[in-house]
Amino acid sequence: MPATPPVDLAAGIRDLKARLKAVILAHYYQEGEIQDIADFVGDSLQLAREAARSDAQVIVFCGVHFMAETAKILSPQRPVLLPDLAAGCSLADSAEPEAFRRFVAAHPGHTVVTYVNSSAAVKAMSDVCCTSSNAVQVVQSIPPGQGVVFAPDQYLGDWVARQTGRELVLWPGSCEIHEMFSAEAIAAMRRDHPGCIVLVHPECPAPVRAHADVVGSTKALLDAVKAGPEAATWLVVTEPGIIHAMRKARPRGTFLTAPAGVRGEQGGCTSCNTCPHMRRNTLEKVWRCMAEQAPQVHLDPDLIARARRPIERMLAIG
């Protein structure tokens, strides 16, 4: 018989957290009310580090499946709860493991750099992982002249190639949210809000990035807001969940969400820029997964061992 959630879900979650000796990790793209009950809020690199370092008995991962898998790979002995197992990722899904195996085989001798937004099976075929926070550093750590395959995000790969001056063989994947932003609509918003500071995630295509004052990972964009003026207007060209942390950092700031739209078209919809996978998690599902200790992420131990090496190599790079 399913348990009945308490009226005060946040208090119920705090109570279960103490009973389970759990740590709650939440990604910046989660709903604000989930970020507010978390012990740590961060990007996938920060959360991977937190998962590895925490001595909690249970990890509750409020994010999408590949992130919870990464936590499980780094902490295989501990249960990793994901409030909704169906919280997937269009980018991770854009690299189907068998097709990826053939792609890697077609580029013998290349170092395979894989964005953590990928399945454990794809990580297991990689030499080193990266996140958007450290992708440039990871590619720079590979000796010049060495061929590099970069997967699965072609736009992040293109940005990294330009930042490093390296030629990268790009897997043609993308994030359905970041790919949707419209360069023309962003230019129009800049005209409507003179002086606004445009923050763009590197998963966006180059014509969108061309409008940016700052290009960077969620953490880098948040750091730019923290270092910026108290009462600026910011145009945020990434999943708008990050605005919760930005508003906390700069309560007098104005945060505008960028419209999504079919690329090349003017205008677009400001709710299409919200990741439907991230938003599958709700406060009630967080409470329920803790109450029932399910659903959990399960991975084959052999896959864990193979997927762990590229993640550890990334963590060692810094």
Summarize as ranges the residues that interact with ligand CIZ (CB under 6 A).
27, 43-44, 117, 131-132, 201, 217-219
Nearest residue to the partner ligand CIZ, using Cβ: 43
**Minimum gap (Å) between residue 132 Cβ and ligand CIZ:** 4
CB of 278 to ligand CIZ, least distance (A): 9
Q: Which residues have CB under 8 Å from 2's CB, separation 6+?
A: 288, 292
Compute the Cα dihedral for 151, 170, 185, 213 and give only its sign.
Answer: positive
Query: Rounded to the nearest whole angstrom, what is the least distance from the CB of residue 195 to ligand CIZ in the complex?
Result: 25
44 vs 90, beta carbon nearer ligand CIZ: 44
SS3 state at 67: helix
C-beta of residue 82 within 8 angstroms of C-beta of residue 27: no
Bridge partners (DSSP) of residue 249 are none
Based on the number of CB atoms within 10 Å of its own CB, is 130 exposed (0-12), middle (13-18) or buried (19 or more)? buried
CB of 11 to ligand CIZ, least distance (A): 29
Q: Looking at beta carbons only, is 54 or 217 nearer to ligand CIZ? A: 217
Given the complex with ligand CIZ, which of 90 and 131 has the nearer CB atom? 131
264's CB contacts (< 8 A; 6+ apart) are: 182, 183, 184
116 contacts 66 by C-beta, under 8 angstroms: yes
Which is closer to ligand CIZ, CB of 202 or CB of 228?
202
Toward ligand CIZ, which CB reaches closer, 209 or 219?
219
CB of 117 vs ligand CIZ, minimal distance in Å = 6
Q: Are 16 and 291 in contact (CB under 8 A)?
A: yes
